[in-house]
């Protein structure tokens, strides 16, 4: 039996930070056909809010150290300000959205990241996605909008990477649907030359990925993104695309598609 399609779409912080960009993205999202889930973070907004409150944001290799104070800010910003703003705008576009953290309906449980060389604090690594619970929302014609917060099942909220949430939700839902992930950010895709926005690598598979790694084309923040992509593809996700928001339209083919 052919599975129904489900799109999991993740937006980056630069889109969230820019009101016109967010507005135009949400219009595109509202026109995506079929069942869909939206995943967002909000790191830049959280950093700005923390600064206003006199809390210094600590980062290591682009990853946030989440102490108790920072977790409070993240919960307010991701789960409150950003999430509810997105949900309200989607309602205006006639999308019956429901804003969620991983704690809601026990949808995404995580383990607190173990302390090794670095103590990341209240950061979660996804352990389990309650696909049947999320499916009930989708079957009721709601569109889930996940913020980048999960929980440990014992009352503790955890800051969790939004790219990882998108890939893990897609993996979990692949038991029920044919799932595709769309990572939307400010670039046109994976670029051969960061200074040339049109130098898009249109297709990456496991073999070309290794070449791009060896030549340093994929480095820094793009590394964990690509690792998430391949992890998803190896665990049941049918398709992963990366690029700017216009890849959600049928007219644009200038983005990066990733396959095994």
What b/e string do you get for 64-92 counting C-beta neighbours within 10 Å, with b at 16 or more?
A: bbbeeebbbbbbebbbeebbebbbebbee
Q: Which two tokens stand for residue 155?
A: 């009352």
Please name the fold of domain 5-187+241-247.
Answer: Carbamate kinase (3.40.1160)
**CB atoms inside a 10 Å sphere around CB 103:** 20
Domain coordinates in residue numbering, the chain:
5-187+241-247
What is residue 51's predicted lDDT score, i.e. its pLDDT?
92
Tell me: the pLDDT tens digits for 66-122? 999 999 999 999 999 999 999 999 999 999 999 999 999 999 999 999 998 899 999
Report the share of the chain in percent with pLDDT over 90.
76
Residue given tokens 């352990």 in the structure block: 127
- The answer on pLDDT for 193 being more than 90 is no
**pTM (2 d.p.):** 0.94
Local confidence band at 8 (pLDDT 50, 70, 90 cut-offs): very high
In which region does residue 208 sit, left (phi positive, over 0), alpha (psi from -120 to 50) or beta (all else)?
A: alpha
Local confidence band at 159 (pLDDT 50, 70, 90 cut-offs): very high
Residue given tokens 């670039």 in the structure block: 187
């Amino acid at each position: 039996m052919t599975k129904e399609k489900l799109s999991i779409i993740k937006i980056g912080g630069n889109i969230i930070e820019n009101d016109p960009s967010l507005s135009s993205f949400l219009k595109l999202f509202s026109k995506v056909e079929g069942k869909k889930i939206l995943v967002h973070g909000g790191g830049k907004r959280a950093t700005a809010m923390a600064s206003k409150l006199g809390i210094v944001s600590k980062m290591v290799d682009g990853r946030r150290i989440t102490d108790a104070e920072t977790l409070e800010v993240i919960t307010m910003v991701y789960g409150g300000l950003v999430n509810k703003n997105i949900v309200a705008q989607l309602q205006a576009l006639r999308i019956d959205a429901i804003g969620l953290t991983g704690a809601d309906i026990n949808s995404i449980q995580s383990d607190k990241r173990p302390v090794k060389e670095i103590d990341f604090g209240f950061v979660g690594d996804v352990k389990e996605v309650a696909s049947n619970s999320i499916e009930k929302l989708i079957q009721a014609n709601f569109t889930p909008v996940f913020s980048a917060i999960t929980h440990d099942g014992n009352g503790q909220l955890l800051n969790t990477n939004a790219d990882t949430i998108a890939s893990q939700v897609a993996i979990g839902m692949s038991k029920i649907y044919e799932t595709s992930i769309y990572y939307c950010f400010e670039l046109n895709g994976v670029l051969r030359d960061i200074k040339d926005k049109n130098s898009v690598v249109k297709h990456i598979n496991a073999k070309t990925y290794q070449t791009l790694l060896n030549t340093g084309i994929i480095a820094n923040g793009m590394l964990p993104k690509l690792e998430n992509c391949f992890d998803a593809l190896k665990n049941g996700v049918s398709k992963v695309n990366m690029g700017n928001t216009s890849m959600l339209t049928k007219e644009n083919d200038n983005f990066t598609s990733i396959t095994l």
